[in-house]
Amino acid sequence: MHSKKSIAENLPDTISIIEEAVKKVKPTNNFSIYVNKIEQEAHLLYLKYEKEAIKNLFLDVISEFMSEISTSIANTRRSRGGKSSEYIISFALKEIGIPNEVIGNKKEEENSYYPDIAIPSYNELKSGKGIALAIKRTLRERWREDISIFKFPKAAFVCLSGSSDLTVNKLLDMEKEGIKVLFIEENLFSKHKNFIESGIKQMEVYPLSKLPWWIKKNLSNL
C-alpha cells in the first residue's frame, strides 16, 4: 500500500513559496528586518503547505487502506455468508429430525466437487444412499459453481434469500445449464409460479418450505 506522491512532491517548490512570501511582506527601510520578515513568512507558508501535504498524504493512505480493507471485508462477508447459509439449513433440518452433515473442509481430494450438505451423512452419500445439497444465500452468477452437484443421483440446489435477483431468464439459464432440482424462497416462488408451471420443463422448482418433504420422499426411495 503506497501513496502516489511523497510529502515533498505535494509541496510547492521553494521559489514559489518565497515569491508568495515576498508578496505578503511590505518593504521597509531596514533591509535586515525586511529579509527576516520574508524568511519568517516563507517559513510559515512552508509549515502551512507541509501540514496540507501531510493531511493529503494521510487521506490518500486512508483511502487506499479503506479500499483494500473493504475488499477484504466483502470477501470475508461472502465467505461467512455462504457458511452461515449451510449451517442454517443444517441445523434447521436436524431440528425437524433430518440428520445431515455439513461437508465444509472435509475434502479428500483437491479440485474435486463436494456438496455443502450430505444427508444423512457423507459416507452414506458416497455409497449412493444419500442426498446432496448445494446451498447459496443468493442466486448471482456463482450458482454455476454448483452444477456439478447433479453428478450425485439425488441432489438439489437451495437458495435461502428472498431478495435474490432471480428472473425468468435466469430460471431458463439454470435449466439449460443443468440444474435439475431448485428450491427458492416462498415469495420468489409465488412471483414466478406461473412461468415455472408453464415455461420450465426439465427442472423441478419448489418453494423452500417443500425441502423437508422432498428429502424424506427421496430418502425413502434410496
In a domain, 89, yes or no: no
Q: What is the pLDDT of residues 70-108, one digit of tens each?
A: 555 555 445 444 457 888 889 889 988 999 999 865 666
Q: What is the pLDDT of residues 137-173, one digit of tens each?
A: 887 767 898 999 999 999 999 988 777 678 999 999 9
Same-domain status, 63 and 139: no
Same-domain status, 13 and 109: no
Q: Helices in 149-185 by DSSP H: which ranges? A: 168-177
Percent of the chain with pLDDT over 90: 36
Q: For residues 222 and 32, what is the distance between their CA atoms, to the nearest angstrom?
A: 102
In a domain, 131, yes or no: yes
To the nearest whole number, what is the mean pLDDT of the chain?
83
What local confidence, expressed as pLDDT, does residue 221 receive?
77
Same-domain status, 11 and 120: no
The secondary structure of 110-141 as a DSSP string is TT----SEEES-HHHHHTT-SEEEEEESS-SG
- CA-closest candidate to residue 200, choices 220, 221, 176: 176
Q: For residues 56 and 49, what is the distance between their CA atoms, to the nearest angstrom?
A: 10
DSSP bridge partners of 119: 131
Same-domain status, 33 and 105: no
Same-domain status, 41 and 133: no
Same-domain status, 50 and 114: no
What local confidence, expressed as pLDDT, does residue 106 receive?
60
- Give me the domain span that covers residue 183: 96-220
Residue burial 102-140, b: 16+ Cβ < 10 Å; e: rest: bbeeeeeeeeeebbbbbbbebebbeeeebbbbbbbbbbe
Q: For residues 154 and 19, what is the distance between their CA atoms, to the nearest angstrom?
A: 81
Q: What is the pLDDT of residues 202-215, one digit of tens each?
A: 999 999 999 999 99
Please tell me the total count of domains within the chain. Answer: 2
Q: For residues 126 and 128, what is the distance between their CA atoms, to the nearest angstrom?
A: 5
Q: For residues 24 and 113, what is the distance between their CA atoms, to the nearest angstrom?
A: 73
In a domain, 167, yes or no: yes
Per the CB < 8 A criterion, the answer to whether 35 and 29 are in contact is no
